[in-house]
Structure 1
Amino acid sequence: MSIPTSIPTLAGVVAQTVTTARITTRVLFTGPETGTPVLFLHGNVTSATWWEEVMLSLPGTYRPGGYRGIAPDQRGFGAADPNKKIDATRGMGDLADDALALLDHLGVAQAHLVGNSMGGSVTWRLLMAASERLLTVTLVNPGSPYGFGGTKDVQGTPCWEDFAGSGGGLANPEFLRLVEAGDAGLDNAFSPRAVLRMLVYKPPFIPAREDDLVAATLRTHIGPEDLPGDSVESPNWPFKAPGRWGMANAASPKYAGDLEGLYRIEPKPPILWIRGSHDLAVSDAAASCPGALGAAGQIPGWPGAEVFPPQPMLGQTRAVLERYRAAGGAYEEVVIQDTGHVPFIEKLPEFNRIFHPHLETPRT
């Protein structure tokens, strides 16, 4: 697979190819070079393109002393070097290390951090790995700190010892086939455009830059070491356990790491958790959660809610953040009504009214 052609950027967004000690990728920049850095990490099957409007609306984008937006195409997506694969056995470790290497390359000692969805999953890892470098943290509809799939309660207890029900074996093959084929249409219910309209934005919302967002999704790296990655046969329902390559496997609770470290970090950056009221991608009954699909009869053989319930993703995140607060940290949860998985695209002014003041929050 060759490095994809870059997507045109909005006026005021500068795209550069950056080679760090770990990876060559496309990085988007906004604002003054001397501004306070804000690092944006995109979600699964997207790219830095999804952050452009947020970056351009940062305070002081067009004057000295404002904020400097920084958004990379993460490993496995967009114009990131396709030869650099995600070692899923490290969980989000590869992507977290990539982000730190980018800050090092740019000479950034400390930055505000914003992560959406999968980018939020990377943010959990960065908090544990390098909290001293994070001024504030903003989680936007983040992946559960326990990972995606195969856990049954707010403590992240696995449904099965082998973490069956998570990983690359459960990705929708038709969606991935259409991504690889570059299908930008609406003729198939599993086309990227159709899936984004149904599961990522709250219908009937359609973004003004929908074509660019679809183009970003079509630049997702597809393959046995990318998406969907590999998988392992399991005797446990739904009979697939995580493999070792690619983002879907990296998101498995098997590789999420020990969250106890999160409560011991010092300093503890203040955390803002923003979520859309109608998010179908990350919820307590997410549209692609095996437990929810089994309960709906869409995956045969479901063993029932006592064995494999829908994953309580919101409850898990809230429980972890409550423990973070009890350990001396601070967090705030804000729900933006009538939005889905990307409220910063669906209702940018309302998102910014919450997000911008958080950037001024002092660390505890």
Structure 2
Amino acid sequence: MIKLPTMPGITTQQVATSRLLQHVRLSGPESGEPVIFIHGNVSSGTFWEETMLALPEGFRGIAPDLRGYGESEFKPVDATRGLGDFADDVLALADALGCDRFHVVGHSMGGSVAFQVLATAPERLQTITLAAPGSPYGFGGTKDLDGTPCWPDFAGSGGGLVSPEFAGLLAVQDRGIDNPRASPRLVMNSFYWKVPFRPAREEELLSSMFTIRVKEDHYPGDMVKSANWPGVGPGVIGPNNALSPKYVGDMVERILAADHKPPILWIHGADDQIVSDMSFFDLGTLGKIQAVPDWPGEEAFPPQPMKGQTRRVLQRYIEAGGYFHEIELADCGHSPYLEKPKAFNNAFHALLHKK
């Protein structure tokens, strides 16, 4: 297991919860208002350290490594529950730390987990900050703003979307740049943020990517053959399958029907290539630009309108009595809290005080 260094002001702790042993980064006073930070896929809580250290006085930063990432205990993710395992782990951590109510911040897949926490226990949330979150309707294989599946079996989503080369290089902790399509360093610096941005802690963040468990029962996860393009559908284990729209269920309707609706901030980069309406990690986009052969066309399998889906759900959240504020940052990619920390923190801190 990789042991990652921490920045001055960040402490770590192994917290025994009712579900698993979770490795957690902490900042601020123990008596402060709890803010739980949820990291994205192929990363760990390391990504949140600068943001945790910038919290206003009186707030307590809590950044767990999700199961299968970082230094937390490994347990498989049951993808048929969608992101339920991750959400329940977050709530179990809050219980173990005595956090009856808390703020939650989620990036990318962590934003998708935050949506699931909102659907599961809305009364426990004070505010929600979504940094470039995945669509509430999952990743891949849907065609319109309401999350309609392209195919009945949700082909084009799940573990089959992951490059085997990329997964293999993660497994051997390859720090080079020899493979232009699959090098973890090049993927990070090309897609996690907008070129030419390079984070000061590039080596630590790259090491954080290597903490994901590349193994049969986690990443990239299993898959099934499909008669529908592109020929594979979601399996039943691992985070990439948990992100499939096949397993979203009634999450959106539960969010909209909840009596308690905490205020939401959605902040994202205008130049995000991972979560966008033309994502370069979506088979619809890759088929359209002829990077993947035999694309069945715009009507059958268009690029997933990921941001449009999120906007539609959050507009419905307002109509159901909630509040949300959207900020799109110019000249910014997939990690607004790292690329544009001043703008991100100004909006984020204002929401913390709004509650």
TM-score (norm 2): 0.98
Contact 1:224–1:245, Cα closer than 8 Å, also in 2: no
Q: Matches of 2:65 and 2:226 in 1, distance apart?
A: 33
1-structure distance, mates of 2:308, 2:340: 24
**Post-superposition shift, 1:287?**
0.7
Partner of residue 141 from structure 2, selected from 139, 150, 153: 150
Kindly state the Cα deviation for residue 186 of structure 1 after the two structures are TM-superposed.
1.7
- The structural deviation recorded for 1:125 is 0.7
Match of 2:63 in 1: 71
Q: Which residue of 2 aligns with 1:235?
A: 227
User: Residues 324-363 of structure 1: matches in 2 within 5 Å?
Assistant: 324-362=317-355
1:192 and 2:189 are equivalent in the alignment: no
Equivalent position of 1:21 in the other structure: 18
Q: Aligned partners of 2:194 and 2:136: how far apart in 1?
A: 24
Q: Provide the residue aligned with 2:163 in structure 1.
A: 172
Q: Distance in 2 between matches of 1:360 and 1:14?
A: 25
Query: Which residue of structure 1 aligns with residue 276 of structure 2?
Result: 283
1:176–1:222 Cα contact (<8 Å) kept: yes
Alpha-carbon offset, residue 25 of structure 1: 2.2
Which residue of the other structure, out of 28, 36, 40, is the alignment partner of 1:39? 36
Tell me, in whole angstroms, the C-alpha distance in 2 between the residues paired with 1:5 and 1:77: 10
Q: Which amino acid aligns with 1:234?
A: S
- Post-superposition Cα deviations, 1:203-262, rounded to whole Å, max 9, x if no partner, equal 011100000000000111112211111000000000101000000100000001212111
Instruction: List structure 1 runs of 4+ shifted beyond 3 angstroms.
Output: none
Instruction: Name the residue aligned to 1:315.
Output: 308
- Using the aligned pairs only, state the percent identity: 53
1:199 is displaced (CA, Å) by 0.8
Q: Secondary structure at the match of 1:37?
A: strand
C-alpha contact 1:38 1:113 (8 A) present in aligned 2 = yes
Distance 1:253 1:338 in 2: 30
- Residues of 1 paired with 2:33 and 2:109: CA distance? 24
1:8 aligns to 2:11 (yes or no) = no
SS in 1 for 2:130: strand
Structure 2 unaligned regions, length at least 5? none
Greater CA drift, 128-137 or 346-355: 346-355
State the AA in 2 paired with 1:132: E
In structure 1, distance between residues paired with 2:178 and 2:162: 20
Amino acid at match of 2:206: V
Partner Cα distance (2:222, 2:278) in 1: 25
Equivalence for 1:63: none
1:180 counterpart letter in structure 2: A
Q: Give the corresponding residue for 1:137.
A: 128
The offset of 1:5, in angstroms, is 2.8
Please list the CA deviations of residues 4-61 of structure 1 after superposition, one character each: whole Å capped at 9, or x if unmatched: 232000000001111211011210000000000000000000000000000000001x
RMSD (Å) for aligned C-alpha atoms: 0.7
CA contact (8 A) 1:12 1:30 kept: yes
Q: Which runs of 5+ in 1 are unaligned?
A: 61-65
Taking the aligned partners of 1:355 and 1:170, their CA distance within structure 2 comes to 32
Measure, in 2, the Cα distance between the counterparts of 1:203 and 1:339. Answer: 9
SS of the residue 2:121 aligns to: helix
Contact 1:41–1:120 (CA<8 Å) still a contact in 2?
A: yes
Superposition pairs of residues 100-111 of structure 1, within 5 angstroms: 100-111=91-102
SS of alignment partner, residue 354 of structure 2: coil
Provide the TM-score with structure 1 as the length reference.
0.96
